Structure 1
């Protein structure tokens, strides 16, 4: 049995679906709330759903787990409650690390590309743990994820006990089904699809950086199926531990993304530029591109889905059919 915290969320429920398809029982720790988040699990319900406030009691029992995949977090890049973010993203991660160390259970956890902050240039997105102290996250979310990465590396440097396998995964810009509950943090692919499907143009932010054209802001967009595949591969290779980027290794512009959405939806490409909201100025990453060398060196040799193929799969297999769930 595998525990997935945040298992009713976007990436967590997609992992849950893949594990269920393999006949692997799971426990999900998450809140379903009063909306439609339950639909993320409707086709592949877990053995149990444990509310986060009851997780400590659950783990204190005689539970036998094959692994803990910790994806639960305060993940909004605009989050302002520092105490809540620290308790959720750092303290809970630390407690789960300690539990997995004591029980000798593999531990995978979500870090984030937001830890890179204002980094620029392909060589700036190097996931070498020895270079962590150079990073300067731009928002509270990135700061808390970075803080736990630093704690992990400090513990290892001191020679402290640790889980038999551990992996911190720096997710880049993930898109795909099961994300409707995310509100303002939903993927740009879904936002642009909704604009195009309503008959309007795809609206993109104007650049807030000198020398960078409007729409030329670039991100490493990765299909959620590729993220799930990385996690499954790690669970199948218990000898692999480390801090790993999880992107495609290729930055694509927002203009590329908008064109891919329009093509997948069978529409002509129409773009309209709008001013970037004041709250995002100075905190907006204009370029991200994962250096995938360390994961490749660890043995992961599978190909990543191209932006065009991933967007087409999401739009044509889910959104156009009115079925945004996996």
Structure 2
């Protein structure tokens, strides 16, 4: 039995489907709400679906769990409720870490590239207290993810017993199907596809930096299937632990992403530039790129899906989905 928190969410639902396809039993901790989030779990067979407030009671019942995969979080980079974010993104994973350490259960959790802030300190997945102390996130979400990474590093440095396997995964800009429930926080590809399907131009933010042209802001776009592949590999290699970047390893521009979308749609390009919203100014990453050296050194040999191919697959999936759910 695998326990997946946030299992009805974007990355979580793909992980649940992959585990179920292997014949595994999967218990999901999440909320479906009143929208179409249930569609993310329409295919796999589930061992059960519990709301967040029943998680601790479930764990207290001593269920036979092979691994805890913690994908749930307050992931909105614009969230301002510090108490809510701290309780969800720091206190909760600390409890799960302790439970896994006590029960001898592997623990894999979602960290984030938001921990790197503007990238001035680089993007090395250095799990030492010294390496983590250099990072300066740009928002509350990034701070919360870094706070947990720091506490893990501190516990390890103090000699506290960890789970038998642990892995923090710094996901970069993930895209793919099953994002309709995320609203504004869904990937750029999701929003641009919907714009074009409404007959509008695909809009991108103007650059407010003189050294970067409009649309040339660059991110490390990684397909959700690559994120799942890394997690499945970790489950197959229980001796591997650590903090790892998960990205494509190559920064690409937003223009490249949108042009790949138009190519996948076989439509002429129609791109317009708009001003950046006020609540994103000063909190916007202009460049991210995931060095994958530590992941490769740990033994992962999977090849990341190239942007154009990943966009083609995603657009093909979008065509058969209700993206207004």
- State TM-score, norm by structure 2: 0.97
Match of 2:138 in 1: 138
Match of 2:270 in 1: 270
Match of 1:118 in 2: 118
Match of 1:103 in 2: 103
Cα 1:93/1:211, change in 2 over 3 Å: same
Match of 1:161 in 2: 161
Which 5+ residue runs of structure 2 have no aligned equivalent?
none
1:1-326 residue pairs with structure 2 within 5 A? 1-120=1-120, 124-130=122-128, 131-316=131-316, 318-322=317-321
- Report which stretch shifted further, 195-204 or 34-43: 195-204
After TM superposition, give the deviation of residue 324 of structure 1 in Å.
6.2
Q: Distance in 1 between matches of 2:241 and 2:266?
A: 43
Q: Distance in 1 between matches of 2:321 and 2:48?
A: 28
Q: Distance in 2 between matches of 1:265 and 1:41?
A: 27
Q: Distance in 2 between matches of 1:160 and 1:15?
A: 29
After TM superposition, give the deviation of residue 169 of structure 1 in Å.
0.4
- Report which stretch shifted further, 13-22 or 43-52: 43-52
Q: Distance in 2 between matches of 1:48 and 1:119?
A: 40
Q: Distance in 1 between matches of 2:245 and 2:132?
A: 13
After TM superposition, give the deviation of residue 210 of structure 1 in Å.
2.7
Cα 1:185/1:275, change in 2 over 3 Å: same
After TM superposition, give the deviation of residue 199 of structure 1 in Å.
2.4
- Report which stretch shifted further, 299-308 or 189-198: 189-198
Structure 2 SS opposite 1:222: strand
After TM superposition, give the deviation of residue 119 of structure 1 in Å.
1.2
Give CA-to-partner distance per residue, 1:133-159, whole Å, 9 cap, x none. 100000000000000000000000011
Give CA-to-partner distance per residue, 1:236-281, whole Å, 9 cap, x none. 0000000000101100000000100111111111210000001100
**Matched pairs, number:** 322
Structure 1 SS opposite 2:111: strand
After TM superposition, give the deviation of residue 320 of structure 1 in Å.
2.1
Structure 2 SS opposite 1:27: strand
Give CA-to-partner distance per residue, 1:53-101, whole Å, 9 cap, x none. 0100000002010000001100000001000000000000000000000
Q: Distance in 2 between matches of 1:187 and 1:18?
A: 21
Q: Distance in 1 between matches of 2:319 and 2:273?
A: 25
Q: What root-mean-square deviation, in Å, do the aligned CA atoms of Structure 1 and Structure 2 show?
A: 1.2
After TM superposition, give the deviation of residue 323 of structure 1 in Å.
5.8
8 Å CA contact 1:30–1:49 kept in 2: the answer is: yes
8 Å CA contact 1:197–1:265 kept in 2: the answer is: no
Structure 1 SS opposite 2:132: helix
Q: Distance in 2 between matches of 1:187 and 1:234?
A: 25
Which 5+ residue runs of structure 1 have no aligned equivalent?
none
Q: Distance in 1 between matches of 2:197 and 2:173?
A: 22
- State TM-score, norm by structure 1: 0.97
Q: Distance in 1 between matches of 2:225 and 2:159?
A: 35
Q: Distance in 1 between matches of 2:62 and 2:70?
A: 20
